Amino acid sequence: ETRPIPEPGPNEVLLRMHSVGICGSDVHYWQHGRIGDFVVQNPMVLGHEASGTVVKVGSGVTHLKPGDRVAIEPGVPREMDEFCKTGRYNLSPTIFFCATPPDDGNLCRYYKHSASYCYKLPDNVTFEEGALIEPLSVGIHACKRAGVTLGSKVFVSGSGPIGLVNVIVAKMMGAAAVVVTDLSASRLQKAKEVGADFTIQVKNETPQEVASKVEGVLGCMPDITVECTGVQACIQAGIYATHSGGTLVLVGLGPEMVTVPIVNAAVREVDIRGIFRYCNTWPVAIALLASKRINVKPLVTHRFPLEKALEAFETTKRGEGVKVMLKCDPTDQSP
């Protein structure tokens, strides 16, 4: 479908899109037309992990100019409500979010967005790194919510893109040891590449057996568990594994109702926390990338031009590689 190039409003910018990563949620909307209460009713543009170049600025925009390279934060509150006032704008019920029905995403040639949620990229941060700030932000927000600090022992359940960014961020925040579990040997190898200290390939073990293996490789029960799969058995394993008085953060989203050993968590004072996307993470992520304190480049395993978007989505659906990146600007020849 060909759409007219949008005109930016006073506080918006028009962007020529460059790099857009494909997320599991994009594939889910494509295949199933809904995630929980978010139902696709009309044709919707996918994509929310993105970077691009400013082409035009609205009359009220002063911090950006045409030619600036920016990373795009996809969630923009529509109202200054109680959540915005306390700095937790991700919880605002009125939030606009790219590629969450009914809001269009940015997997396209040209896209307009709130200028306040476009962040200038330093010269030494690539467009692909800019697009990867979105999944990286999930790791930053989750590890902050978990309280990762110097010397933490951390268990990351799941070695997909979100599990991997949590490994990267946990190590950056001072974790002494990080163990990762997954079904896939190749994904666990990637976890090792990005900094995991230990990996465990799960086969047919019970949740209690998984927890025992985690304790075995760490030499103790982890202070913090970051659950990135949403699978019932994995959440159960997370509760059993976490040290008494520790914290379990639920990042992965699965079925609405799950059966968990809640009494086990309660009597051992294991705090269970949720996260919803992220907030206030783009400046932190850009500073980390610019200083080369973290490296997210190994996450990108496949690249496609926008014309081959269907092939890119099929690749993601099959679970090949880690992060599939689409390049929207055919005039750009950079790797």
Q: What b/e sequence results for 207-229 when a residue is b if at least 16 CB atoms lie within 10 Å of its CB, and e otherwise? A: beebbebbbeebeebbbbbbbbb
Of all residues in the chain, the percent with pLDDT exceeding 90 is: 95
In total, the chain counts a number of residues equal to: 335
Mean pLDDT of 44-65: 98
pLDDT in tens, 285-318: 999 999 999 999 999 999 999 999 999 999 999 9
Task: Specify the pTM.
Answer: 0.96
Q: Does the pLDDT at position 82 exceed 70?
A: yes
Give the Cα separation of 222 and 206 in Å (integer): 18
pLDDT at 321: 86
Range with the poorest average pLDDT among 1-5, 17-21, 48-52? 1-5
Mean pLDDT of 142-164: 98
CATH code at 139-274:
3.40.50.720
pLDDT in tens, 256-277: 999 999 999 999 999 999 999 9
Domain ranges of the chain: 12-120+296-327, 139-274
- 214 torsion bin: left (phi>0), alpha (psi -120 to 50), beta (else): alpha
Mean pLDDT of 98-111: 96
The CATH T-level fold of domain 12-120+296-327 is Quinone Oxidoreductase; Chain A, domain 1 (3.90.180)
Q: Does the pLDDT at position 335 exceed 70?
A: no
Give the Cα separation of 225 and 223 in Å (integer): 7
pLDDT band at 334 (very low <50, low <70, confident <90, very high): low
pLDDT in tens, 207-236: 999 999 999 999 999 999 999 999 999 999
DSSP E strands in 236-318: the ranges are 247-250, 271-274, 300-305
Residues in Cβ contact with 128 at an 8 Å cutoff, skipping those fewer than 6 apart: 19, 51, 297, 300, 325
Helix, strand, or coil (residue 71): strand
Whole-number mean pLDDT of the chain? 96
Mean pLDDT of 25-44: 93
Cα dist from 275 to 139, 140, 227, whole Å: 10, 11, 11
pLDDT band at 330 (very low <50, low <70, confident <90, very high): confident
pLDDT at 249: 98
Give the Cα separation of 273 and 252 in Å (integer): 12
pLDDT band at 1 (very low <50, low <70, confident <90, very high): low
| Helices within 232-308 (DSSP H only) | 232-241, 262-267, 282-290
pLDDT at 265: 98
